Amino acid sequence: MKIVSGAQTGVDRAALDAALESHNPAGGWCPQGRTAEDGIIPEIYPVTELPNAGYRERTKQNVIDSDATLIIYFATLSGGTLFTADCCHELNKPHLLIDADKRSVEDAAEEVLSFIKRHKVTVLNVAGPRASGDARAYGYAKQLVLTTLSEL
């Protein structure tokens, strides 16, 4: 299972960290200049700059290049997380919404595993709020992706 994201702080980096920690392939597109809310995306993250692109363009390209998208959010879809869901709808790509306010990591992992099997996913895009959007984003997403990958 390859995990991709845009390498923004929060959910994106948590997903990449979980993939790298569990020795799964990782990647995805990031904005030109490797920009994120905390500055330049560290080289440890194996993402590729999308030429002449910002956040929205890289988000859409990650949806396009993945088999499906896991969208983690807390109570309300907003900002780039909402845009990701819109891209999935527009491109008719499978996606799973997980409201982390209502789902334990264990319950969410069961749903993600079922989704992956149902859609025969080999490349999973993971998206959700950046660290400044919700302080819980990184921890929840990392545990969810690690748990899911360990059960595949």
**pLDDT tens readout for residues 5-37:** 999 999 999 999 999 999 999 999 999 999 999
Contact in structure between 56 and 118 (CB atoms under 8 Å): no
pLDDT on residue 51: 96
Which band of pLDDT confidence, cut at 50, 70 and 90, is reported for residue 139? very high
- If one counts every other C-beta atom within 10 angstroms of the C-beta of residue 7, the result is 27
pTM value is 0.98
pLDDT on residue 144: 98
Distance CA 85, CA 73 (A): 11
Domains of the chain with bracketed CATH:
2-151 (3.40.50.450)
**pLDDT tens readout for residues 46-75:** 999 999 999 999 999 999 999 999 999 999
Question: Could you please report the per-residue DSSP string of 3-57?
Answer: EE----TTHHHHHHHHHHHTT--EE-EEETT-EETTEEPPTTS--EEETT--HHH
- Name the nearest CA neighbour of 19 among 4, 36, 40: 4
